A and B are shown apart, each in its own frame.
Chain A
Amino acid sequence: MASPSALPRAGEGGRPRRRPRSAVQRGLRMLPVVPSIVLLLLFLLAPVLWSFYASFTDASLSGRGARDPQWTGLDNYARMLGDSSFPLSAWLTLVFVVASAILGQNLLGLVIALLMTRARGPVSSVVGIAVVASWVLPEIVAAFAAYAWFSKDGTLNQLLAPVGAGGTNWLYSFPLMAIVLANIWRGTAFSMLVYRAALAEVPQDISEAALVDGARGWQRLLFVTVPLIRSSIATNLMLITLQTLAVFTLIWVMTAGGPANASTTLPVLAYQEAFKFGDIGYGTAIASVLILIGVVFGAAYVWLLREKRP
């Protein structure tokens, strides 16, 4: 059975040839997207720019900085270097992203997608529904579910109690592990869906040719399938990395960054500085660094994607 993509696509080549258009017509074609671009600029870019600007001031929620914020240059950024909670927080963010997104969600999503291509229909849909269910939940509900699972009197401990392993307070003793697992649980569905779509596009005949040449299962995966879905992998990595960098609700509900900052990632730290201590300037500086980290990750993936293309 050939996969659909192996067949010539209906309509391709049958499309009427484009007539040359005038600049005016092309401008008019852009009109439908104007409202969305305006909205994006207004509600996404403007806050980002404002936040970037505020990070160079001593803006605050109360006190003199609220009435009349002063330009303080790089003070907020210099303060980060001397602040012991910032390096810890940056490190935790990195661990969180690598462990829960790049390794956890990404690999688990790929494995599930690969297994699903071989599984029988009913098995495949049951697994699919189970995985996607956590992704469909609103973030706050998923966060409460994860809290209920890991908390001291939670489901996990009740399951462990009969074998005598209950009683561990996971959120207190292993906060980072708890939020990493929760984020893997919540986000794997996205990677799985991306990879299912990508695997469906892999022409069966190449794989079959490799089989005839004597390639084993893992060799076909590594040397045939993976190179073919490389661009999906890069896109997926980029999206889940940015998504995971920004995770806030999950962590806030489960551990609120504690105990003793042991699960305070950068978004949590930025929130605490800006809204708990009212130090908008410092909070936005941390947020700006977070944006920069996202840009670095994004650029790295784009570069990887270009580098390996023939």
Chain B
Amino acid sequence: MHRPARFAATLAAVAALLVVTACSPTPEGPESKTLKVIYQKSDSFTALDEVLQEAKKEFEAAYGGVTVELQPIQANDDDYGTKLALAQRSEDTAPDVFYEDTFKVRSDVDAGYLLKLDGYLQNWDDWSQFNEGAKAAGRGDDGGIYAVPLGTDTRAIWYNKTVLQKAGILVPWQPTTWDEILDAARKMKAADPTLIPFNMYAGKGTGEGTVMQSFYELLYGTGSTLYDENEKKWVVGSQGFTDSLAFLKTLYDEQLAVTPAEALDSNVWKRVFGEWLPQGKMGATVEGSYTPSFWQKGGIYEWAGYTQDMGVARFPTQKGQAPGGVSMSGGWTLAVGAKSKDPELAFNYLATAVSKKNALAFDINNSQIAVRKDVAAEPSYQAANPFVKDVSELVAVTHYRPATADYPRISTAVQVATESVITGQQSPADAAAEYDRTVEKLVGAAKVLKK
């Protein structure tokens, strides 16, 4: 009867192996605690990693016996969101502190991933330093605060002064209507046909970039909107939507933007920052206030000349109507996991990470717009790059995405509409009608508003 015994032993070994691998984070003693921090890191985004490493040092020195376990996720924004959500689903993998996109806050609060922070914020002196607009970014549907903002951003036209000057356009350049953009772009094309005069993202390849850095600048400048905040309904059938698509069609049809094939490549932005703008092959593009972070010292596409060569302009409204400009804002926050075993400790780490010193380092390295008043007042912040003042002023004309749970799907429907138009599959009117049908299907007829 040797064999059964051996098999029993094998089985036991397999079982033991399973058990061991299943709970690899070894149980801590009463004295040693571990905080798990999940955040995003990529070759073009290390500013947060640096800040969290710094905060880990400070925190572990201040709280003996506590280990901060940093778990960076190497991914783009979309994949980061997915991986984070998957980690949240099990108590074993759920983080204590994590990096959260503002537009996902509400739906993740709904999902029960975020801990309400009101009780901790009351006793935290630094909270009064955060400006009111930024505080709202972390608010859930119940009015409670669930996340603390790290920084915010705005979007603007970034143009290469030398390219514009060669085409005979006066700098500083500030278009006041859509037509002025087209005029300038046509002039540039006439001066140098190999040029990409004015790029705006389109299609599903660039994901949120397509809507945040392109379509919404158009749509919100027509007087129309994506979502009616008062009625809590999605807007369909607006002339502004069709006009915005038509503008993109003109840009792409007249070859004023990149080719449709290039636009659908999810890495097109790397060429915008890394090749086309620095090499003077592109006139202008619509991009975020974080743009200098790619070019400044230590950025992935270091380009010392950007401070002289580049200029920034407000994106105009369609016909120059008030308020004379459009911008979009997003931004990221830190939040405490609802499944955290020691929420107080987790919050304290969060507070360390967004302290004045660390927030200042993050805002400068990542070219963020400060959300802390004391950081905004720092001379080193204001002097971080020549464009801090310009992009900060855009907060006055900025818009936020509707932070609803169904937003990501609506956003994709918009991206699909832009893709159909620039690839010539549908006319702007047809693509807009298709968008209307998709939205109605997604949210139900009761939640759409015809305008």
Contacts and interface: CB of A to CB of B under 8 A. Distances in A.
A66 B7 contact: no
A39 B423 CA distance: 48
Nearest to A39: B14
B42 interface: no
B264 A28 contact: no
A172 B441 contact: no
Contacts of A34: 7, 11
A276 B78 contact: yes
B261 to A, nearest CB: 4
A66 B441 contact: no
B108 interface: yes
Nearest to A272: B412
Given A64-B405, A172-B261, A260 B82 contact: no
Interface string A57-75: 0001111111100000000
A62 B104 contact: yes
Contacts of B111: 60-67
A278 B88 CA distance: 13
Q: Number of contact residues on B: which range applies?
A: 35 or more
A223 interface: no
Given A61-B86, A63-B405, A64-B110, A32 B441 contact: no
Contacts of A63: 107-108, 110-111, 405-406
A34 B423 CA distance: 56
Contacts of B205: 256, 258
A277 B261 contact: no
Contact of A31 (B7, B78, B88): B7
Given A64-B111, A66-B112, A277-B408, A256 B266 contact: yes
B423 A62 contact: no
Interface string A257-298: 011100000000000000111110000000000000000000
B297 interface: no
A28, A34, A82, A260, most chain B CB atoms within 10 A: A260
Interface in B204-232: 204-205
B89 A66 contact: yes
A275 B82 contact: yes
Interface in B414-428: 416, 419-420, 423, 425
A39, A61, A62, A256, most chain B CB atoms within 10 A: A62
A196 interface: no
B113 interface: yes
Contact of B264 (A66, A82, A258, A275): A258
B44 interface: no
A121 interface: no
Nearest to A274: B82
Given A258-B204, A259-B203, A276-B78, A35 B261 contact: no
Interface in B44-81: 78
A242 to B, nearest CB: 26
Contacts of B78: 276
A152 B108 contact: no
Interface in B382-423: 405-406, 408-409, 412, 416, 419-420, 423
A277 B82 CA distance: 9
Interface in B107-124: 107-108, 110-113
B450 interface: no
Nearest to A64: B110
Contacts of A28: 3-4
Contacts of B260: 172, 259
A3 interface: no
B4 A31 contact: yes
Nearest to B419: A260
B376 to A, nearest CB: 32
Nearest to B13: A35
Interface in A94-114: none
A253 B11 CA distance: 40
A31 B4 CA distance: 8
B191 interface: no
Nearest to B266: A256
Interface in B158-216: 203-205
A279 B110 CA distance: 15
Given A34-B7, A66-B112, A278-B408, 8 more contacts: A32-B7, A61-B111, A63-B108, A66-B88, A152-B261, A172-B261, A259-B260, A277-B409
Interface of A: 28, 31-32, 34-35, 39, 60-67, 82, 152, 169, 172, 256, 258-260, 275-279
User: What are the 3 closest A-B residue pairs judged by CB atoms, nearest first?
Assistant: A63-B405, A66-B111, A61-B85
